[in-house]
Amino acid sequence: MATNRSPADDDSRQAQALTEKSTPVAILLAFVLSPVAYYYVGRTKLAVINFLTLNYLLLGVVIVPLHVYKIISDAEAERGDQTTVR
C-alpha cells in the first residue's frame, strides 16, 4: 500500500527542527569550529567538505557564519509562511 505523503512534509519537519536551533550558538560555533556549526544545523555534507578543505582554505571564518545564519533564517521564514497559510 502506497502512502500519499509529499516530499514537502520532510522539508517542513527539517525547517521546524532548524527553527528550534539557537542562532547565536550557531554563529558562535561557526566562528570557532566551522564544521561543527554545519553539523549543528543539520548540514553534514557541508561539515565534511568544510573539514576536508581546511575551512574553505581559511575563508570559512567569514563565509560560514553568514551561511549558517542564512540557513536558519530561511528555515524560520519558511516555517512562518507555512503557519500563516493554514
**Whole-number pLDDT of residue 17:** 79
Helix 60-85 vs helix 7-19: crossing angle, to nearest 10: 120
pLDDT, tens only, 23-73? 999 999 999 999 999 999 999 999 999 999 998 888 888 999 999 999 999
Domain boundaries along the sequence of the chain: 10-85
**Whole-number pLDDT of residue 7:** 44
**Whole-number pLDDT of residue 85:** 54
Using a cut of 0.85, tell me whether the model's pTM lies above it.
no
